[in-house]
Structure 1
Amino acid sequence: MGVYVVTGSASGMGAAVAQRLRDEGHDVIGVDLADADVTADLSTRDGRIAASRAVLAAAEGPLDGAVLAAGMGPRRGRERMLVEVNYLGVTELLDAIRPRLAQAGNAKVVVFGSNSTTSTPLVPRGAVRALLDGDAAKSARILTRRGPLSAPASYAASKIAVARWVRRVGVGADWAGSGIRMNVIAPGPVMTPLLAGQLASPTGSQVRSFPVPIREYGTPDQLAHWVMTMLSPAADFMVGSVITVDGGTEALLRPDDWPARLPARLLPRMAWTMYRAPKRGQVADYSDV
């Protein structure tokens, strides 16, 4: 049996994942604002540092995996808090516990993204770039200029940035090269307390109008089942993947955008990575490509 960290473990999809892990006999270190093994506020740097230290103290050895499910939904006026929780609450915590994950030799990490990354228009690129540079304040300033669109743009920007972070660093020597398989799950609308609150809000009609071809919402249990697969040996050959589980929205809105051919501008990069391909038994380091 293994030891797993689950953020957002007190409710919704995080709670469903934590329960499944415990049901299978694993030890779970839950992280949340309340009702968790580690209570911490991931919206502040001090809170993230405290969470990291508490997790490492509770683990007392290698970590077999981590599920980063904690997050904030769109909320105007809380742009800075949202990007800090959704982006830095993932990246800083994972950076802190990475050595313990590497000790396991075959750890799995699942980061919760969102299909908002490909279904939300007018997300400012500058806000995403600022987050990838670690500048949440700058990202929030850019996003607040969107006015009424700042809330959905902030949420999508945070999820775009965290998915790109996973894909960028996950293939490097510190992660894949250390035996850590890190991937992203991108849900569509799932019936969590967050979605229930949105449906009951004054903008509930807009939420209900969001196109879901299967004409039903997902459930935390369904997403937890996917996460368990991504934590299992079935995912030994998965690194940097984004798994979309959204009832068909992505396919409806972007049927021809994926798969996409490799752009010609990336040929030099491809040639360089092939040149640097490792010999049998060696590990490639593509982190600076």
Structure 2
Amino acid sequence: MQRFANRTALVTGAGSGIGAIVARALAAQGARVAVVDVTAAGQATADAICEAGGEALYLQCDVQDSGAVENTVAATVARLGSLDIAVNNAAIDPETAPEAEWDESVMERVFAINVQGIFLCLKHEIAHMVEQGSGAIVNMASAAGLVGVMNKPAYTASKHAVLGLTKASALQYAARGVRINAVCPGAVDTPMLADNLPPGVDKTLIGANHPINRLATPEEVAEAILWLCSDAASYVVGHALTVDGGLTIQ
């Protein structure tokens, strides 16, 4: 099913994990995809899309840099024809310590990427979408944006902030044709999760904290994101779609 034929999507943090799966899924359903990542891993995602018969463009971008984000959006439109869908997924999760034990620079770096980065993406994506009169944006939040998470104060605060940005911008631009929503995954089996496990903790133990008794796959989260981007969600505005295996209803 070509849900996104003749549409252009931009996905940040698309070099690996959820972002890579989302980019490939959008392409498989007909979208032209700007694969955006701060590292060259994004090129591998773009190459995989093209090898599968899709159309993709790798753009290197640090979402902390407003000029770089503006140029990335402009390059997407110039080279792929439009900007109809944006998935703001780039984020970091470096903490495994309580507040009294971490360096305050961690908070600054997490907010620079997870919050300021999404703000800058929204700023430049919305400007183009308003001009064309339509668009769908999905911001990557987290179950940590709905509840507290021990040993991850900066990450938890950043994801609460993402939901605030999503709601405020959704209210501002819904009547101008731009739908803005967020997804809130629980723990997902990605390289970022593996890289940030506390010493001696197996990922199966993290999955066991969820009522469904396992981690999510990136594909499961991608399905929720694609739905929010699609015409099937045309009346969904400012929503935080929880994809967490029951974690936040305990």
Same fold by TM-score, threshold 0.5 exceeded?
yes
Q: 1:67 maps to which residue?
A: 87
Q: Which moved more, 1:24-33 or 1:81-90?
A: 24-33
- Superposed displacement of residue 104, structure 1: 3.9
CA distance in 2, matches of 1:207, 1:116: 19
Counterpart amino acid of 2:59? V
Unaligned runs of 5+ in 2: 1-5, 43-57, 96-101
Describe the superposition over 1:115-164 as per-residue Cα deviations: whole angstroms up to 9, x where unpaired. 01223168xxxxxxxxxxxxxxxxxxxxxxxxxx4xx1100111101101
CA distance in 2, matches of 1:109, 1:89: 14
CA distance in 1, matches of 2:14, 2:158: 20
CA distance in 2, matches of 1:70, 1:33: 9
TM-score for the superposition, normalised by structure 1:
0.70
Change (3 A) 1:73 1:214: same
1:50 aligns with 2:68: yes
1:38 aligns with 2:66: no
CA distance in 2, matches of 1:49, 1:24: 31
CA distance in 2, matches of 1:105, 1:96: 14
1:1-289 aligned within 5 A: 1-35=6-40, 36=42, 37-42=58-63, 44=64, 47-60=65-78, 61-75=81-95, 76-77=102-103, 78-120=106-148, 149=151, 152-172=152-172, 175-199=173-197, 201-202=198-199, 204=201, 208=205, 211-252=209-250
Give the aligned CA root-mean-square deviation in angstroms: 2.0
Q: Rg bigger for which structure? A: 1
Unaligned runs of 5+ in 1: 123-148, 253-289
TM-score for the superposition, normalised by structure 2:
0.81
CA contact (8 A) 2:88 2:118 kept: yes
- Superposed displacement of residue 206, structure 1: 9.3
Change (3 A) 1:103 1:117: same
